Amino acid sequence: MVRSGIISLASRRTGLSNPLVEKLGHFVKLAPPDRQMIQRISSERTRDFGAREDIIQEGDRPEHINLILSGWACRYKVLEDGRRQVIAFFLPGDLCDLNLFVLRQMDHSIGAITSVTLSEISRSGFDELMLAHPRITQGLWWESLVAAATQREWAVNLGQRDATERMAHLFCELFLRLRTVGLARENSIDMPLTQSELGEATGLSAVHVNRTLQELRALGLIVLKDRTLTIPDFGALKDVALFNANYLHLEHEGRHLDANEA
Amino acid sequence: MVRSGIISLASRRTGLSNPLVEKLGHFVKLAPPDRQMIQRISSERTRDFGAREDIIQEGDRPEHINLILSGWACRYKVLEDGRRQVIAFFLPGDLCDLNLFVLRQMDHSIGAITSVTLSEISRSGFDELMLAHPRITQGLWWESLVAAATQREWAVNLGQRDATERMAHLFCELFLRLRTVGLARENSIDMPLTQSELGEATGLSAVHVNRTLQELRALGLIVLKDRTLTIPDFGALKDVALFNANYLHLEHEGRHLDANEA
DNA sequence: CGTCCCCTTGAATGAAGTCAATACGCGTGG
DNA sequence: CCACGCGTATTGACTTCATTCAAGGGGACG
């Protein structure tokens, strides 16, 4: 596994601010020192991965927390016979694994989808963050609970929705999540996933993903071309998907935590 | 449904101790004061629910953490059109919601399956626990990470496994989880779930659950009768299910945390 | 004794998977 | 420059798995 280390690209790609700052800002009000702290910690040790490269493999015992700075990654599991399920997508601003300080080894893998730049946050860096910056701590709690809620929603998606609804739901989620880190345009986002990867995430065969996409296109719900997904009418897609954004807890819910504002 | 006997049965089965004590003991070595603390806190305020009764509903803002003392419950979500997905099962020793101190409202519901006795742990009681008993804190981290891992495994189950594998997998999981709280007999467990509930958990129709169960029976993999599930050959069921227990992290992984033993 | 819930079974339908062939774009090396 | 290979997308025909609809059985309970 090649693991070089180029630092500068990331900040250029995501604009000036850090995607985690951007994301947490939707939940808690971060003071300038909070932002600087996140900024600092997430640029201390960055690392680049090529597309398709594994970031962490099942059985590893990782030593740090990974923060995605740019690119897409995914959490996945492979059955003995090779079937693969993508369990979650990681977008810029997402933290990969808070669990690793407690559990002995990874029970799944994390792989880059596009090329990825991430920041490796050490245990001590993390503790420092939590101790000195309660606002960030609150934000990280929020992030981790939303990740759990998203995981639950995926179970609903896989268990109850049919192919069309499932695909539509995934697109709704990705659009909103990218928007909270400033990576959505008016009504479109980058869509680096191949049809086969979409299938691994939705539990559908690649062939059926293809047909499902065509259906969504025919209904005028999406435009998907040149690795760009456009959603002309989000409300319409949302209705088809039976999508309810509650589980993303985006409504700036943390305001009540700002009582003792700086 | 008369279930008065069940409560006393449970405590007899788990011995004197509390299912949470039993469970955490698989991960961290609890000292007598730790056990007493859990015991005390979980008997402070208990509450009973009838079978099928909702414990928490979507939209609620719960004020405490619920610890299941006896009975089965589930986390579930309902789509606008009524389709229902069970997202997780709660067994004795399971904690329902650590999230409620951060997120504004529940994005799903929790319902009793059998009659349930649970303990309502207040925020302050919880803080007390965490502050004075680092061993318990570690254990609770483990419990919450395993719950997350289980949630991920469900996504794999729903996304990749066919009906037979899926059902077999669920049975393997329930058996092992009940065993870690002392509620499994040699090779059998109570199985209070109706076929329709099994369907809601596995994303299958009740009719197909029925046929799937028959298949598992015909293969000699399970005996399911009188609300009791017997697994004559766990290894065989495990193979059919492509079940890998890693995700439950049962191997007493927390031993390394016992360095400063009392 | 009837009702309700749960389980069971059969037949028909429908959704998604598999297999296989073809097309397209892109980069590489001849 | 073009041929080739490779990964990705598309399409059709067929199969398999699971759902739906419908009917009937059994046990618990009022």
pLDDT digits over A56-105, tens only? 999 998 889 999 999 999 999 999 999 999 999 999 999 997 766 788 89
Q: How far is B2 from chain A (nearest CA, A)?
A: 32
pLDDT (tens digit per residue) in A116-136: 999 999 988 888 889 999 999
Q: Is the CB of A196 under 7 A from strand D?
A: yes
* Sheet-wide strand order for A54-56: A54-56, A109-112, A73-78, A84-90
Stretch A244-257: mean pLDDT: 80
Name the one residue in this structure whose structure tokens are 């400033």. A182
A103, B249: Cβ pair inside 8 Å? yes
Q: Interior CA angle at B236 toward B235 and B242, to 5°?
A: 85
A99, B247: Cβ pair inside 8 Å? no
Contact A49, A5 (CB under 8 A): no
Stretch A155-170: mean pLDDT: 98
A145/B99 Cα distance (integer angstroms): 6
Taking the C1' atom of every nucleotide in all shown strands and the CA of B159, the nearest one is C16
Q: What is the pLDDT of residue B79?
A: 98
A82: left (phi over 0), alpha (psi -120 to 50) or beta: left
The total of other beta-carbon atoms located within 10 Å of residue B84's CB is 19
A123/A125 Cα distance (integer angstroms): 5
| Through-space separation of residue B114 CA and nucleotide D11 C1' in angstroms | 51
Strand B228-230 versus strand B223-225 pairing type: antiparallel
Q: What is the pLDDT of residue A160?
A: 98
Please report residues of A whose CB lies closer than 8 A to that of B242.
Answer: 79-81
Q: Which strand C bases fall within 7 angstroms of a protein CB?
A: 5-11, 15-20
Q: Which of A:79-138 have CB within 8 Å of B? A: 79-81, 83-85, 87-88, 99, 102-105, 107-108, 138
Q: Which residue is nearest to nucleotide C17 (CA to C1')?
A: A205
Reference B67, options B50, B51, B45; nearest CA is B45
Residue B7's contacts (CB-CB under 8 Å, 6 or more residues apart) are B70, B117
pLDDT confidence bin for A11, thresholds 50/70/90: very low
Nearest residue of A to residue B161, measured between CA atoms: A83
pLDDT along chain B (262 residues), means of 10: 36 64 94 94 94 94 93 98 98 86 90 97 89 93 94 98 98 98 97 98 98 98 97 98 96 60 40
Q: What is the pLDDT of residue B255?
A: 60
Stretch (H or E) spanning B78: strand B73-78
Inter-axis angle of helices B134-160 and A134-160, nearest 10: 30
A195/A200 Cα distance (integer angstroms): 9
B16/B11 Cα distance (integer angstroms): 7
Lowest-confidence range among A216-220, A252-256, B88-92?
A: A252-256
- The answer to whether residue B150 neighbours chain A at the CB level (below 8 Å) is no
Q: Which residue is nearest to nucleotide D7 (CA to C1')?
A: A194
Q: How far is A161 from chain B (nearest CA, A)?
A: 9
Reference A247, options B154, B85, B111, B23; nearest CA is B85
Q: Which strand D bases fall within 7 angstroms of a protein CB?
A: 7-13, 17-22, 29
Which residues from the 199-238 window of protein chain A have CB within 7 angstroms of nucleic acid chain D? Answer: 206-207, 210-211, 213-214
